[in-house]
Amino acid sequence: MNKKLHIKTGDTVIVVSGGAKFIEKKEKVEKEIKNEVKDNKKSRAIGKVIATSPEEGKVIIEGINIVHKHVKPRKQGDPGGIIDTEGAMYACKVMLYCPKCDTGRRTKTVVNESGQKVRKCVKCGEIL
């Protein structure tokens, strides 16, 4: 069975739900008398899609959902260690990012003047 995703490789997406919803921008620590107050400034996680897997319904996004893999040295001279790679996440947890609206938006498919199908933002009408 051939499944389709609403996300393609190379799209800019925003994470809507899940553990990778926010990324920490800057951690500011203020020390007060007998108290420590942490003020975490967080922003939405926006990234580019590296790969898609329609069979599993998952996407891999650049710089989001970082997974630590413990790798043994396989070849002579090949160092082992902990490698950080992007992990896959379900495509239903991301939306296409509209730069004009500056958020994730639903899209509709329209046919332009040259006869190609393009995706258009529902709210502002910009072609994505």
Specify the 3-state DSSP secondary structure of 49: strand
Q: How confident is the model at residue 24 (pLDDT cuts 50, 70, 90)?
A: low
- pLDDT recorded at residue 15: 87
Q: What is the reported pLDDT for 39?
A: 42
Query: 84 is written with which tokens?
Result: 């950080």
- Whether 27 has a pLDDT exceeding 60, the answer reads no
Of all residues in the chain, what percent carry a pLDDT higher than 70? 79
Q: Give the model's pLDDT for residue 32.
A: 39
| pLDDT tens track for 33-76 | 333 444 444 567 888 999 999 999 999 998 888 888 999 988 88
Contact criterion met (CB below 8 Å) for 41 and 25: yes
The pLDDT of residue 2: 63
Cα torsion 24, 25, 31, 34 to 10°: value is -20
